[in-house]
Structure 1
Amino acid sequence: MRVALAGGTRRGRVVGTVQAGLLVGLLASRAYSGILGKCWVAGGVRGIRAAHRGAGGAGQHAVAAARALTSPPAGRLADRIGGRSTLAIVLAIAVAGWAALALGHRELGWLVVGTVLLDVGVWSNQVVNQTMLFARDGALHSRLNTLYFSTRFLGIAAGSTLGVVNWSAYGWPQVGLVAVTCLVVAAPIACSRAVSR
């Protein structure tokens, strides 16, 4: 509804801002639930739980903050240079993320860089896709959004399955190679004029 009210020239900006708001709300709810949960944890368990959540929780929040900060610029970029060009950029970011993750199986720094790049690429991709989707006839928005998220989650399930199979058989570098291959194969299709006009 917010996109429909914004009009044609600012769709990407609106989608990016709405997604950033959702992500910030998610971060705030996690922080609030963490504080509330600590009231219910008794002495010894409290220390174990805090140690377990410390670095991992901070890392998750940092990655989520990066995605929240980059969603609005991705939408504005889609408005300015178009969906296809922006998709090419965010898919390149995701490829760079997987390349860093492939190196990260032995180096923590590469793992951090890869995680942030991959997350930013994937969430920016969602902003751009929805920006292009909302450029279509308003009467189709609900159906197209349903179709988009259904195929997105089917893709996530297929990717998870491929990841587990490759991890079990060949190890972490093969997972990265399969992911990069999938992105490189998908990029020309996603960025083609016929798909994204």
Structure 2
Amino acid sequence: MPAPEHRTDHGRDHRNERHPHYSRATLWLLATIAGISVANIYFNQPLLDDFRASFPGSAWLIGAVPAATQLGYAIGMFFLAPLGDRFDRRLLILIQLAALGIALVVATAAPTLAVLIAASLAIGVVATIAQQAVPFAAELAPAAERGHAVGTVMSGLLLGILLARTVSGIVAQYFGWRAVFGASVVATIVLAVVVIARLPKSRPTSTLPYTKLLGSMWHLVAEHRGLREASLTGGAMFAAFSIFWSVLTLLLAGEPFHMGPQAAGLFGIVGAAGALAAPLAGKSADRRGPRAVISLSIALVAISFVVFAFSARSIAGLVIGVIVLDIGVQAAQISNQSRIYALAPEARSRVNTVYMVAYFIGGALGSAVASLAWHAFGWTGVSLAGLAAVGLAAWSHRRRRVGAASQAG
């Protein structure tokens, strides 16, 4: 038999044995899981006026609804996401989908604002399903295609983040805010059925008891310089992202635009370009290495804030800036995650937890800085704050020490 043909067949069989469940369909299912689950974190943001109308006696507490959701997400990331190393991720996804469906039903029928706040906290905790989907993709993929796999799933997650506000605003305008949560209940049930039918099981990589599993994350931070660097870089990049999106509504409400909150939500559709570019960024990380892609991403985000600085009265400038910003942030996110998943293959859920906690801390700080900058210095101050966050990301990314070359990436 011809030797080349034998080697080709053997290589194909060997790959299938090692990665039998890796397929485009599985990746897009994981992307859908990530997008639908994370969207629940952002559905309530355009609905605050509707909540105020439904619960006029508790209007002063309306802001607690999105705050409770974000707090719940942080809690879920820390306490639930690491379980993916200990248990079958498919089972964890199904359990969280069931819990999410219940929490959404409670939110849909909430008779008081207190019940809605409690349901929002629960929604945030269990919507961390996305943090099982991304490391699941890294586990299923061959090492040479890990960046592409992570990028594909992250594109679904980003679409969920960017389009949630738009979809929520449209549904609420015609059917009321309860219909938003009700529609999500239906989507969650359908998704659970598809997961049961199509998603493969994962192989746990740790036997640590739960408390030691959580404690081991500190050891991972201490052991892996690449994880510390990626976490700081990612957190700074998401801070820049949040600085822009936190005050866009305020900019559009004033001169010369006089646009309502729905206009800011529609910018999410523009930002979807970043999600569509995510798989390409993953492939580039596979070919050229993640560090090169991160360097380019930082440059793109810096350019976007320069564009923003000169676009205080220009919709076209804002649109261009949003596209460049989202492509840069998402390309950096995918490349950073590709790096950290290579550091400790047996602890992908835990390194992802460390990274994402830092990522959302950066986002929260960015939102706070944006508010201060807006009230003190206006749009110019916001643009400069964004550039400062990008500068921090560049500093973290460029820091090299003796021995750093031993780290992945």
Q: Normalised by the size of structure 2, how large is the TM-score?
A: 0.41
Aligned-residue Cα RMSD (Å) equals 2.6
Helix, strand or coil for the counterpart of 1:186? helix
Partner of 1:48: none
Q: Which amino acid aligns with 2:267?
A: G
Partner of 1:8: 143
How many matched pairs?
A: 187
The answer to whether the 8 A contact 1:84-1:196 is kept is no
1: distance between equivalents of 2:166 and 2:307? 29
Q: Which structure has the larger Rg?
A: 2
Partner of 1:134: 341
The answer to whether the 8 A contact 2:166-2:262 is kept is no
Please list, as runs of the form range in 1=range in 2, the aligned pairs for 1:110-129 lying within 5 A after superposition.
110-129=317-336
Higher mean displacement: 141-150 or 25-34: 25-34
Please list, as runs of the form range in 1=range in 2, the aligned pairs for 1:12-31 lying within 5 A after superposition.
12-24=147-159
Q: Percent identity?
A: 35
Question: Are the structure 2 counterparts of residues 109 and 149 from structure 1 closer, same or farther at C-alpha, using a change threshold of 3 Å?
Answer: same
How far apart are 1:2 and its partner, in Å?
A: 2.1
1:153 aligns with 2:360: yes
2: distance between equivalents of 1:196 and 1:114? 32
Please list, as runs of the form range in 1=range in 2, the aligned pairs for 1:40-55 lying within 5 A after superposition.
40=175
Deviations 1:29-70 (A, max 9, x none): 7777677656636xxxxxxxxx9687555432232x302211
1:60 aligns with 2:274: no
Q: Which runs of 5+ in 2 are unaligned?
A: 1-135, 177-258
Deviations 1:129-162 (A, max 9, x none): 1111111221221111111111111111111111
1: distance between equivalents of 2:364 and 2:168? 28
Q: Which runs of 5+ in 1 are unaligned?
A: 42-50
Please list, as runs of the form range in 1=range in 2, the aligned pairs for 1:27-106 lying within 5 A after superposition.
37=172, 40=175, 56-63=264-271, 65-106=272-313
The answer to whether the 8 A contact 1:87-1:191 is kept is no
**Which one scores higher on RCO, CA 8 angstroms, separation ≥ 6?**
1
Q: Which amino acid aligns with 1:21?
A: G
The answer to whether the 8 A contact 2:273-2:327 is kept is yes
Q: Which amino acid aligns with 1:87?
A: I
The answer to whether the 8 A contact 2:339-2:408 is kept is yes
The answer to whether the 8 A contact 2:166-2:268 is kept is no
1: distance between equivalents of 2:160 and 2:389? 31
The answer to whether the 8 A contact 2:166-2:265 is kept is no
